[in-house]
Structure 1
Amino acid sequence: MLISKPRRRAVAALASAAFGLALLTGCGDDVSCGLDQCTVSIARETNASVSVLGVEAKFVSADENTVTLDIGGEQIQLTKGQQAVDVGGLQVQLESVTADQIQIEVARP
Structure 2
Amino acid sequence: MISKPRRRIATALATAALGLTLLTGCGDDVDCGLDQCTVTIQRETNASVQVLGVEAKFVSADENTVTMDIAGEQIQLTKGQQAVDVGGLQVTLSSVTSDAIQLEIGR
TM interval, short-chain normalised: over 0.9
Q: What RMSD, in angstroms, separates the aligned Cα atoms of the two structures?
A: 1.3
Q: Which runs of 5+ in 1 are unaligned?
A: none
Partner of 2:91: 92
Give TM-score, length-normalised by structure 1.
Answer: 0.91
* Whole-Å separation in 2 of the counterparts to 1:11 and 1:74: 37
> Where does 1:24-63 land on structure 2 (aligned, <5 Å)?
24-63=23-62
* Whole-Å separation in 1 of the counterparts to 2:42 and 2:97: 9
Partner SS for 1:20: helix
- Percent identity for Structure 1 against Structure 2: 81
Partner of 2:82: 83
Task: Give the Å deviation of 1:72.
Answer: 1.4
In the TM superposition, what whole-angstrom CA distance separates every residue of 1:11-61 from its partner, at most 9, and x where no partner exists? Answer: 311211111111221111111111111110000111100011111111011
Partner of 2:73: 74
* Whole-Å separation in 2 of the counterparts to 1:45 and 1:32: 20
Give TM-score, length-normalised by structure 2.
Answer: 0.92
